[in-house]
Amino acid sequence: MINISHIKLLQLSKNSGYNTDFIQGYMKRNNLLIKDFTFNKSMLDIILKKYNKKISDFIKDTYSEKEQKNKFAQISKILNPKKNAPHYFTPNHLAYDLAQWVNNFSTTDVTISPQFFMGENVQINCVGSLYGNGQVGIHKGKDIHKINIHPKYSACLAVEVHTDGSNNLMMIYKPSKIIDRNVNGKFGLAQDKKTKIIWYGFIEPLSNGKYNILDKSQCTGKTIGKLAENIQLSWSTEIKASYYPTIYNI
């Protein structure tokens, strides 16, 4: 999708004798084309299913009786787009109105912004679960599931926490095949080279080149105990982010 200024630039350049493909190639190489953020219908489907609503409910609640017939047609064109079709009522307009509508009846404290309905939905795999013994159990087959995430974490994986006080917390990490020295003296994930067990805890390097995995209080910093002692690591990695998913709890 190209905005109006880019369309005018293309028209002027073509009239001056330049080939359109050349112009578009130049603009793309030089980052002059805006990103294509289209309406994401799957996000609307989540809302409608969650609250047992229909698109007709949104239209009746949001627009005057005189506008409703026209809005049905306009929204249908957005939800079922045709290539190069003109949009007088744009996806941005629809996203804004939907956000206002949802926030009026949502039963949670999650505030929906118009961006919720725009762009691609980035997902990563949740590949394991952390239990009360500090060990990560790796999921297999159908137990591996996807979670929605900020695009900047698209190269990461997730581990779901199943411990008291942090149940369902998602820990986001980047897969590693090396021992990451940056995670020494911090909380992170690490695999015991001998047993293949993956641990989550405070990674303490030792003078002999091996490691302890400590259970430390994140409130006081005091060591509660040792989860693993004097082990050689296959790899270690830091936690990039942790959060409670809210996208399906709207």
Residue 120 pLDDT: 62
pLDDT at position 49 over 70: yes
H-only helix segments in 80-222: 91-105
pLDDT band at 113 (very low <50, low <70, confident <90, very high): confident
- State the average pLDDT for the chain: 83
Q: What integer pLDDT is reported at residue 29 of this predicted model?
A: 45
Q: What is the CATH number of domain 123-243?
A: 2.10.109
> How confident is the model at residue 147, as a pLDDT?
86
Most confidently modeled range among 15-24, 80-89, 235-244: 235-244
pLDDT of residue 243: 84
Q: Which residue bears the tokens 């430390």?
A: 216
| 203-244 per-position pLDDT tens digit | 999 999 999 999 999 889 899 999 999 999 999 999 999 988
Please count the CA atoms within 13 angstroms of the CA of 199 that sit on its side-chain side.
28
Angle at 242 between CA 236 and CA 244, to 5 degrees: 145
Helix (H/G/I), strand (E/B), else coil: 60: helix
Give me the mean pLDDT over the 136-161 stretch. 89
pLDDT above 80: residue 194: yes
For the chain, the farthest-separated pair of C-alpha atoms sits apart, in whole angstroms, at 78
pLDDT of 126 over the 80 cut: yes
CA distance 227 to 136: 12
Interval 7-32 mean pLDDT: 49
Could you tell me the CA-to-CA distances from 155 to 69, 89, 206 in Å, in that order?
A: 44, 35, 31
- The domains of the chain are located at 1-36, 41-117, 123-243
Whether 95 contacts 118, CB under 8 Å: yes
Residue 250 contacts by C-beta under 8 Å, 6 or more apart in sequence? Answer: 46, 47, 50, 102, 106, 108, 110, 112
Mode of pairing for the β-strands spanning 157-161 and 123-130: parallel
The 3-state DSSP class for residue 209 equals coil
